């Protein structure tokens, strides 16, 4: 069924169809609307969910961990400072192998205080042991949240599915919604492998683990994250076979013969695709077109470095666009990862970094076109540039 929904409405609708056992949450802009809408589903009896209105995001994630440990299918939602307040509990959730699903809306971290989009919140949590999926639009957010339930429960790892704050979360789009029965059939019934409430098979949760076994247990989480990559691919393919929209680790847009390319996450990819088409048609000036391409990275954790190296190996010049900054590393977080992935190639592409859009600063066609122009004219001496800022 085709409907018009915002990104927040799309994620709330997916949550309704998933019908989790427990949702624990605390409101924060621009993610508030997801759980606000979902709470109305609870109040109207459209779901069987136990809704916990926690007193903070730290408490919300703590409640999620408790409910998941008890064998409940568990979801939540947050953004920005809320995700940061969960920091301690994010590591606990992954270390305890809790398949919690989090609908995340990307927003800048303070200070200064800002409520608009960049990726500093989720990039700050990139090494907390959570699977991370970045969506381009409301349709992908809806589809990915449904897939996330299966991914988390098969990998025994928590997962966050993110959208760009206000750009996707509050932007109305046309999208396809599945029937409730289709979603129910796809995700299946949750049968937890372990539960604190299973007194016939007792388990320990939250044990002290010093030098004797900490390393071994952490190594298990690392291996689970490696294995999760195959699970993401399998479920994305299965979703496509059932519903006609397949998802992988990344999207290649006109990349097969590209001579220059941009790598980007999230909603900016849609704008960049327009520029790619224009450059293919007319080039920098009316006349000969330019073989421009785009790679939109969808799965950031686990990082698909081998597949990315293969996809980008034949392209001479590449720009990675980061909507967050690592604050004095050798570029933004996506750039450093992509550059590392390409390091072992026999012939390395020339790769540069553009930091853009911090605090919701607009990114437009002209700015993206200027990135391609730099690549086309080989203006790649400066490793890191800041796009659209008044210097």
pLDDT in tens, the chain (391 residues): 999 999 999 999 999 999 999 999 999 999 999 999 999 999 999 999 999 999 999 999 999 999 999 999 999 999 999 999 999 999 999 999 999 999 999 999 999 999 999 999 999 999 999 999 999 999 999 999 999 999 999 999 999 999 999 999 999 999 999 999 999 999 999 999 899 999 999 999 988 999 999 999 999 999 999 999 999 999 999 999 999 999 999 999 999 999 999 999 999 999 999 999 999 999 887 778 999 999 999 999 999 999 999 999 999 999 999 999 999 899 999 999 999 999 999 999 999 999 999 999 999 999 999 999 999 999 999 999 999 999 8
Q: Are residues 187 and 326 in the same domain?
A: no
Q: Are residues 55 and 192 in the same domain?
A: yes
Boundary-marking domain end, from 224, 243, 262: 243
Q: Do residues 332 and 118 lie in contact, with contact meaning Cβ atoms separated by under 8 Å?
A: no
What is d(CA 272, CA 285) in angstroms, rounded to the nearest whole number? 18
pLDDT given at position 277: 97
Residue the block writes with tokens 């689970």? 224
Find the domain containing 270 and state its range. 250-387
Q: Are residues 206 and 261 in the same domain?
A: no
Q: Are residues 174 and 293 in the same domain?
A: no
Boundary-marking domain end, from 222, 243, 264: 243
Q: Is the dihedral of CA 320, 321, 323, 327 positive or negative?
A: positive
Q: Do residues 279 and 292 lie in contact, with contact meaning Cβ atoms separated by under 8 Å?
A: yes
What is d(CA 83, CA 219) in angstroms, rounded to the nearest whole number? 25
CATH value at residue 212: 3.40.50.970
Q: Are residues 258 and 206 in the same domain?
A: no
Q: Are residues 317 and 213 in the same domain?
A: no
pLDDT given at position 76: 98
Q: Are residues 337 and 357 in the same domain?
A: yes
Q: Are residues 149 and 169 in the same domain?
A: yes
Q: Are residues 191 and 259 in the same domain?
A: no
Q: Are residues 255 and 302 in the same domain?
A: yes
What does the block give as tokens for 278?
């224009």
If DSSP codes are grouped into helix, strand and coil, which group holds residue 384? strand
Instruction: State how many domains the chain has.
Output: 2
Q: Are residues 309 and 345 in the same domain?
A: yes
CATH value at residue 324: 3.40.50.920
Half-sphere exposure for 27 (CA within 13 Å, toward CB): 9
Q: Are residues 124 and 70 in the same domain?
A: yes
Q: Count of CB atoms within 10 A of residue 294's CB?
A: 23
Pairs from 345-349 (Cβ < 8 Å, separation ≥ 24): 345/309, 345/313, 347/313, 349/312, 349/313, 349/315, 349/316, 349/317, 349/318
Boundary-marking domain end, from 197, 221, 243: 243
What does the block give as tokens for 144?
């990915």
Chain-centroid distance of CA 170 in Å reads: 17
Residue the block writes with tokens 């849609």? 270
What does the block give as tokens for 1?
């069924």
């Amino acid at each position: 069924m085709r409907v018009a929904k915002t990104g927040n409405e799309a994620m709330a609708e997916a949550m309704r169809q998933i019908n989790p056992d427990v949702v624990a949450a605390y409101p924060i802009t621009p993610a508030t609307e997801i759980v606000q809408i979902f709470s109305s589903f609870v109040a109207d009896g459209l779901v069987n969910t136990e809704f916990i209105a926690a007193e903070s995001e730290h408490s919300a994630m703590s409640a999620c961990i408790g409910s998941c440990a008890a064998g409940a299918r568990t979801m939540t939602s947050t953004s920005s400072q809320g995700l940061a307040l969960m920091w301690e509990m994010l590591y606990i959730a992954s270390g305890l192998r809790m398949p919690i699903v989090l609908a995340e809306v990307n927003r800048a971290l303070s200070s200064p205080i800002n409520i608009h989009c960049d990726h500093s919140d989720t990039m700050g949590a990139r090494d907390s042991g959570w699977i991370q999926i970045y969506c381009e639009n409301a349709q992908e957010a809806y589809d990915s949240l449904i897939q996330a339930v299966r991914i988390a429960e098969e990998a025994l790892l928590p997962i966050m599915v993110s959208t760009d704050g206000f750009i996707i979360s509050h932007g109305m789009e046309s999208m396809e919604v599945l029937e409730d029965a289709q979603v129910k059939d796809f995700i299946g019934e949750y049968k937890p492998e372990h539960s604190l409430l299973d007194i016939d098979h007792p388990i320990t949760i939250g044990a002290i683990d010093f030098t004797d076994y900490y390393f071994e247990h952490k190594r298990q989480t690392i291996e689970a994250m490696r294995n999760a990559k195959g699970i993401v691919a399998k479920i994305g393919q299965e979703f496509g076979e059932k519903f006609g929209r397949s998802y992988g680790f990344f999207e290649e847009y006109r990349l097969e013969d590209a001579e220059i390319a941009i790598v980007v996450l999230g909603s900016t990819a849609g704008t960049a695709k327009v520029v790619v088409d224009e450059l293919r048609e007319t080039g920098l000036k009316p006349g000969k077109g330019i073989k421009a391409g785009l790679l939109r990275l969808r799965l950031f954790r686990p990082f698909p470095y081998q597949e990315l190296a293969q996809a980008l190996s034949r392209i001479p010049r590449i720009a990675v666009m980061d909507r967050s900054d690592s604050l004095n590393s050798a570029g933004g977080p996506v750039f450093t990862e992509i550059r590392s992935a390409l390091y072992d190639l026999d012939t390395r592409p020339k790769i540069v970094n553009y930091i853009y859009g911090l605090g919701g600063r607009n990114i437009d066609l002209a700015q993206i076109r200027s990135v391609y122009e730099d690549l086309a004219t080989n203006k790649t001496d400066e490793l890191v540039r800041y796009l659209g800022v008044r210097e």
